[in-house]
Amino acid sequence: MKYLGLYLIGGADFKIDLTAAKRKYYGCFNTIMPVVGNQVNEIMAVHFVKSYCLPQLMYGCEIWPLNSVTIREIDVIWNNGFRCIFSCCWRESVKPLQFYCRTLPISYLIGERQLLFYRRLLCDNIVLRTLARLIRFETLGIAAKYDMYFSTATVKNAVWSSFVNVFKC
């Protein structure tokens, strides 16, 4: 079933088909890269990709039921974009490039967006609060991954700090 541009697949497990999102991302990426070419620096190309292509890929990620296969698949897409921009070999890690460009890996970006979505649900509206209770345990698992509690003022700083700590190791 298609809902708000996302294809929902029912069955024993609730899944999201990301084929359309990947197609839109690659379409946007392949439109930007020939225009950018070698005329502009890599940081500007990363900015364009983050501004125009990344939203195509991450649309609706706040509600995605993620498993390790889906996260890996999306990470590969994001990392290949960095490899293309910086002319890297496919075997090289792009984490140093992402750190230098102050860009998180896609798995961190999705976790950050899911946490921010959950925090927005915690308002005075009884319907939104009920929804927040339904996804509470998944969200607490994401928060624990980044050693964060919801009393923390900024989710973004906690997620970035977690990435930096992993990067330093």
Instruction: Report residue 151 as tokens.
Output: 């009393």
Provide the pLDDT for residue 152. 44
pLDDT of the residue at 52 = 93
Which of 5-9, 29-33, 83-87, 163-167 has the least mean pLDDT? 5-9
Instruction: Assign 161 a pLDDT band (cuts: 50, 70, 90).
Output: confident
The CA distance from 48 to 143, in Å, is: 29
**For position 29, what pLDDT does the model report?**
93
64 Cβ partners below 8 Å, 6+ apart? Answer: 16, 70, 110
Check whether 151 has a pLDDT greater than 60.
no
The C-alpha atoms of residue 34 and residue 92 are separated, in whole angstroms, by 23
Q: H or E segment at 56?
A: helix 54-58
Which residue would you say has higher pLDDT here, 60 or 103? 103
Domain spans, the chain: 1-97, 104-169
Check whether 91 has a pLDDT greater than 90: no
| More reliable by pLDDT, 89 or 68 | 89
